Amino acid sequence: MKIEILYFDGCPNHELMLDRVRDVLKEEGIFAEVSELNIQDDPAAQAARFLGSPSLRINGLDVEPEARTLNQFGMMCRTYLDTGRRVGLPPRELIRNAVRETAQARSPQDCCEVPVVATAQTEPAVQQRKWVLGASVTAAIGASLCCILPILTAVTGVGVLATGAMFERWRPYLLAATVSLLGAGFLLVYRDRRKACAPGSVCATRPVTRWSLISLCAVGVLAAGVAAFPYYSGAVARALIGEPPSNGAAASTALATVTFQIPDMDCAACAVSLSTTFRRLPGVAEAKLDVDSRKAVVTYDPAAQDVPKLRRIISEAGFHIASESRL
């Protein structure tokens, strides 16, 4: 692709034209030399078919299609139509369209001789990155299901609390998969930014855009936030679930207390959800679950509730009871 800027000394828009052309070429991922032709006098202007300064030609054609048939050549300043007004530079879109049309018009056998639009950053490569990043978010969600499902259980009433406990066993592996997939995503982007062929050849890659990098970082932050959900799930659970209404058991004077040691209860959301389940049972006055000590302390009315039923609630939630003590 041959790009020429024609100008005369003292033209205020000459350097601005050069910068604008280079910016458009960079945005389009096209490698091409931009030559400059200084028109010295009127005879030179006539010989070069100079329409005014600055003029832009791509492969010998003026960037402005309407000007290609004009024959008013000379040492004069040139203007271009931009959104209904005359300005000293061609609009960016006019340059962009001319560059694209020229690049698309090149025949395949010219691919190794002149710069063309970069095509290696093809749809499969983009889809590959999207798949890897999407899988990383999915793995992060899977790693946090142990604390997401208990909240869904308490909010919707659907019995999936035991399923959440099952995902807890898979959490280390899912976290490892999340980290690996995120690393692969960053590696793919880094590879596409570094990979290059001969400038202008069909294998030259289109540079990864700023928005691609921003999207990659956003996905990384999202995956990290989801993977870390168990650490702040208790606050989320309390905000969504709240305190269930009292069922009236506290009015009884013959209350008993039982303490369950639950070694595998290490999720704050699970504790909040299980506490809510206890409080909704008839005869339960209070239920306190502490993740740090792995204990569940339930105060209940023996006339309306019994310990085997409380124990069964814990087992059905997917947890194991190491010991219990009663007061």
299: closest CA among 243, 264, 252? 252
Can the peptide bond before residue 54 be classed as cis, meaning omega within 30 degrees of 0?
yes
Distance (Å, rounded) from C-alpha 265 to C-alpha 257?
20
In the chain (327 residues long), the average pLDDT of successive 10-residue segments reads: 93 94 91 92 94 94 91 93 91 92 66 43 57 67 58 51 55 71 68 49 48 70 71 63 54 80 82 83 89 90 91 85 86
CA dihedral 156, 161, 164, 168 (to 10 degrees): 140
Structure confidence at residue 118 (pLDDT): 41
Q: Name the 3-class secondary structure at 76.
A: coil
Per-residue pLDDT tens for 86-101? 999 999 999 999 999 8
Structure confidence at residue 192 (pLDDT): 57
Structure confidence at residue 267 (pLDDT): 76
How many helical (H) and strand (E) elements, i.e. helices and strands, does the chain have? 9, 10
Which tokens go with 260?
């369950």
Structure confidence at residue 254 (pLDDT): 83
**DSSP at 53:** B
Structure confidence at residue 113 (pLDDT): 45
DSSP 148-187: HHHHHHHHH--S-HHHHHHHHHHHHHHHHHHHHHHHHHHH
Per-residue pLDDT tens for 38-62? 999 999 999 999 999 999 999 999 9
133: closest CA among 209, 229, 212, 233? 212
Structure confidence at residue 106 (pLDDT): 62
Residue 12 vs residues 7, 18, 27, 36, 87: alpha-carbon distances, Å: 10, 12, 24, 15, 12
| pTM, rounded to two decimals | 0.37
24: closest CA among 97, 83, 114? 97
Contacts of residue 310, defined as CB under 8 A and 6 or more positions apart, other chains included, come to 258, 260, 278, 281, 284, 298, 300
Q: Cβ(21)–Cβ(96) under 8 Å? A: no
